[in-house]
Amino acid sequence: MRVLGIETTCDETAAAIVSVERSGEVKILSNEVLSQIAAHAAFGGVVPEIAARAHVEAIDRVVERAFETAGMKPGDIDAVAAAAGPGLVGGVMVGLTTAKAIALVTGRPFIAINHLEAHALTARLTDDLAFPYLLLLVSGGHTQLLAVRGVGDYLKLGGTIDDAVGEAFDKIAKMLGLPYPGGPSVEKEALKGDPERFDFPRPMQGRPNPDFSLSGLKTAVRLVAERIAPLSDRDVADLCASFQAAVVDVLVDRTRAGLRVCNAAGISPSTLVVAGGVAANQPIRRGLTRLATEAGLPMVAPPLPLCGDNGAMIAWAGIERLRLGMVDDMSALARPRWPLTELRPQDAAPATTSAAE
């Protein structure tokens, strides 16, 4: 089974081909990602119109490169999957239209993928995990705790009531004059700083409901930065280190609450999983690993190239759905908002072709 996956929800134009061999071995045959960071850096964030135009200009050659790297032609694939949302709708439409065209020309099934589900299932691509597992999904636009009970079956335990974690990192970086994207910049500066110099708040810590809040922490950093301005290089490093330490504490505490709620609901997770772009942050990984050890669970995070947006995760989600006969027709729409909890396995149309064909 070989599936082409296309991802264009934000500022990466990506295409990949993932296969499942008859032996059951999973192989990423190609995984091409073209980043738009340079195009958006001057604005300190993603500009939707610029992103959509860049996707239009790049999509054909990125898909072509994915086939070339895999040593395949379009007729060799068994299905085409594309992220249909949530995301910037202009970009989503580019990938969705391209995938539908390839599916029509090749006569292969088309699968509309929820971008968040692709992140949620990436751990099964890399580690072959059993359901259910507890997922901390952290990215530029999303911060959620979910019980992943199956493909299309997600129980939301908690989420952010204001800023997403990645958004908070980006805003702190911009506030301190650091390069975009903010997450890697703050993490790099934090390595040189003292995480105990500033005692920033840990919002929502200790509360039984596993929700998140980052807005107050972000404000606390701004107030301190304004008070001690002008900032030296040491000040910036210490602010980043102290902010990051607070974020790690918050995520660990909120995930611990999520584990309690999960168990109270009668769900015994096999694994603690962190996914999404912010999952690349090493202190966050270490904090969650300590929590998982405390809870007697393994902790899984995707390899760094699969944390950010990529086509391989879309292709894998397509494989997961194709196995269950969950394919879509050409009426599938681009969706700027698409909660994971709206997905249901029984909502899928019957497959028009078997996985073995």
Name the residue type at position 139: S
Give pLDDT, residue 344: 73
Burial of 34 (0-12, 13-18, 19+ CB in 10 A): middle
- 99-103 contact pairs (CB < 8 A, 24+): 99/4, 99/6, 100/330, 100/332, 102/4, 102/63, 102/74, 103/79, 103/330
CA 157 to CA 197: how far, in whole Å?
33
Other Cβ atoms less than 10 A from the Cβ of 294: the count is: 11
Please say whether the beta carbons of 98 and 86 come within 8 A. Answer: no
DSSP state letters, 242-305: HHHHHHHHHHHHHHHHHHHHHHHTT---S-EEEESGGGG-HHHHHHHHHHHHHHT--EE---GG
Q: Indicate the pTM of the whole model.
A: 0.94
119 is in an annotated binding site: yes
141 is in an annotated binding site: yes
Full pLDDT tens readout for the chain, 357 residues: 999 999 999 999 999 999 999 999 999 999 999 999 999 988 888 999 999 999 999 999 999 999 999 999 999 999 999 999 999 999 999 999 999 999 999 999 999 999 999 999 999 999 989 999 999 999 988 999 999 999 999 999 999 999 999 999 999 999 999 999 999 999 999 999 999 999 999 999 999 999 999 999 999 999 999 999 999 999 999 999 999 999 999 999 999 999 999 999 999 999 999 999 999 999 999 999 999 999 999 999 999 999 999 999 999 999 999 999 999 999 999 999 999 988 876 444 333 332 333
Give pLDDT, residue 353: 32
List, in order of start, the domains of the chain with CATH numbers.
2-121+306-342 (3.30.420.40), 132-304 (3.30.420.40)
Residue length, the chain?
357
183 is in an annotated binding site: yes
311 is in an annotated binding site: no
Strands 12-20 and 2-7: antiparallel
Give pLDDT, residue 327: 96
Q: For the chain, where are the alpha helices, taking DSSP H only? A: 37-40, 48-70, 89-106, 115-127, 165-175, 182-190, 215-228, 233-264, 282-295, 311-323
Q: What is the CA radius of gyration of the chain?
A: 20
Q: Give me 267's structure tokens.
A: 């769900």
95 is in an annotated binding site: no
CA 252 to CA 291: how far, in whole Å?
7
Give pLDDT, residue 345: 61
Give pLDDT, residue 44: 85
Of 84, 151, 77, 150, nearest to 111 by C-alpha is 84
